[in-house]
């Protein structure tokens, strides 16, 4: 596989994982807040609304760098390579799928070929 394909695959994987985090955020929000609303009790609505919003917001914030990095990789931006490498190192702690993604990210983007690839797209 050439570098162009590795970068495209990584971009899709990071956009996809970010989208899954956003989906998880939506599910958590509607499940937790909805549970409080179904109960009909004011105190439960207040607590579940607060907790659901905080947890969903946290998951959404975690999704943003992956989606941004994936879009940047598709546009062949050097900053995206750096961002995705950082995310790749952090993903190593997320066993087992994150570890696989992190290893693939580091393996593909740390090559000298990757550095040359992104520099060839840099504006003159």
Segment (H or E) for 111 = none
Q: Give which of 82, 69, 92 is closest to 10, Cα–Cα.
A: 69
| Residue 25 CB coordination number (10 Å) | 20
Cα separation, 36 vs 53, in Å, equals 12
pLDDT of residue 122: 65
pLDDT of residue 50: 95
At which residue do the structure tokens 């570098």 appear? 3
Are residues 56 and 49 in contact, defined by beta-carbon separation less than 8 angstroms?
Answer: no
pLDDT tens string for the chain (124 positions)?
789 999 999 999 999 999 999 999 999 999 999 999 998 899 999 999 999 999 999 999 999 999 999 999 999 999 999 999 999 999 999 999 999 999 999 999 999 999 888 888 766 5
What's this model's pTM, rounded to 2 decimal places?
Answer: 0.88
């Amino acid at each position: 596989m050439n570098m162009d394909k590795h970068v495209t695959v990584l971009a899709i994987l990071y956009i996809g994982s970010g989208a899954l985090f956003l989906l998880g955020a939506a599910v958590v929000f509607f499940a937790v807040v909805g549970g409080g609303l179904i109960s009909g009790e004011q105190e439960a609505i207040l607590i579940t609304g607060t907790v659901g919003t905080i947890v969903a917001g946290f998951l959404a914030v975690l999704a943003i760098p992956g989606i941004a990095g994936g879009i940047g990789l598709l546009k062949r931006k050097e900053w995206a390579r750096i961002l995705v490498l950082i995310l790749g190192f952090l993903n190593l702690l997320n066993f087992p799928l994150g570890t696989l993604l992190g290893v693939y990210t580091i393996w593909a983007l740390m090559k000298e070929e990757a550095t040359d690839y992104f520099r060839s797209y840099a504006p003159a």
